[in-house]
Amino acid sequence: MRSMSRVLSSDKAEAAMPETVEEVLSLVRSQGGRVTTSRRLLLQALFDASGHRNAEELAQAVQRRAPDVHMSTIYRNLDELEQLGIIVHAHLGHGPATYHLAAGAHGHLVCEECGAMVEAPDELFASLSRTARSRFGFDIDPHHFAVLGHCEACRHQHGHR
């Protein structure tokens, strides 16, 4: 179970998407993090996949290049990189959490039937955000969990809605 105690800060920088893994690594250093071989490989794997890889998939990518890196090291690195604000996790359904670079974080719409996923820009949640804030004083986090439903193809196929 991943940590649910993540601090939600509103000043989560709208940083520009890093274009190379070196930029990601210098971000780690600027946040006071160390760049170890396993971290470098982990961030490389995440960068190459541009998100949506779970811990096990990331571990496989790392272990292809460094077979001696343990799963526990992967989990520890994921936690620490998340605490540094370099990466974030998202839950797209019942399976394990997937990871993104924090700079590229976004919401998700996931089809409950076929698993199709749409990356949802923040503007999609803007009016929900405003209403939740004004009526309930509640600050929504549209990135952490996906919004589930039915994709266009499945709706047509089954004729619902």
Q: Give the nearer residue to Zn ion in terms of CB position, either 69 or 77.
A: 77
**How many angstroms separate the Cα of 121 from the Cα of each of 88, 97, 160?**
16, 19, 26
Segment lying near Zn ion (by CB under 5 A), choices 7-15, 60-68, 69-77, 116-124: 116-124
Which of 15, 118, 132, 154 touches Zn ion (CB under 5 A)?
A: 154
Angle (CA) 78 84 89, round 5°: 45
Contact call for residue 116 and Zn ion (CB under 5 A): yes
> What 3-state class would DSSP assign to 33?
coil
Rounded to the nearest whole angstrom, what is the least distance from the CB of residue 93 to Zn ion in the complex? 12
Contact call for residue 57 and Zn ion (CB under 5 A): no
> What 3-state class would DSSP assign to 87?
strand
Instruction: Give, rounded to a whole angstrom, the gap between the first and last alpha carbons of the chain.
Output: 35
Segment lying near Zn ion (by CB under 5 A), choices 30-38, 62-70, 114-122, 126-134: 114-122
Distance CA 46, CA 101 (A): 7
Segment lying near Zn ion (by CB under 5 A), choices 58-66, 69-77, 112-120, 130-138: 112-120
158 CA to centre of own chain: 31
Contact call for residue 132 and Zn ion (CB under 5 A): no
Residues that bind Zn ion (CB under 5 A): 51, 111, 113-114, 116, 151, 154
